[in-house]
Amino acid sequence: MLFRIFLFAIGLILVPLPAHAQVTSNVFERVLNVRVNAGTPNEGTATAFTVDVDGREYMLTAKHVVAGLKERDKIDIFMNDQWVPIEVTIFRDEPVDIAVLVPPYQLTINFDLLTHESQKIYEEVMKKSSAETA
């Protein structure tokens, strides 16, 4: 059962599928290390992940990570084995501990959604896997 799911997932990664929207297909590529207040006593590191909405990329992180930053401020992103400074716009609201950061350019790769045909294959694999375990 797990092997079939693995093969299906590998097939989705290796064969690009057309779609009208984008979705995160590779979480590892979407999770970024971020650093705030570099070189100061308040320096800190955390993670953020990216999502694409209507062709625009956004970063999400915990609000407390960017608590000391202005609405438009600089952070560092760890990319290609080095810290890269970028200026972001930061949106935050009460009471949740989530901040949305808008980077100046696309930081990660988009992956296509499942097509109708690949969704049918996925459902068939899951149905067979369920039947085998029952």
User: Which residue range is the domain that position 23 belongs to?
Assistant: 19-111
Task: Report the number of distinct structural domains present in the chain.
Answer: 2
Pair 49, 99 in one domain: yes
Whether residue 26 sits in one domain with residue 78: yes
pLDDT digits (tens, 9 = 90+) for 48-69: 988 888 778 899 999 999 999 9
Q: Are residues 12 and 63 in the same domain?
A: no
3-state secondary structure of 12: helix
Q: Are residues 13 and 23 in the same domain?
A: no
The answer on 74 and 39 residing in a single domain is yes
pLDDT digits (tens, 9 = 90+) for 92-125: 988 889 999 999 998 887 655 555 565 666 677 6
Same domain, 9 and 67: no
- Say what the pTM is: 0.63
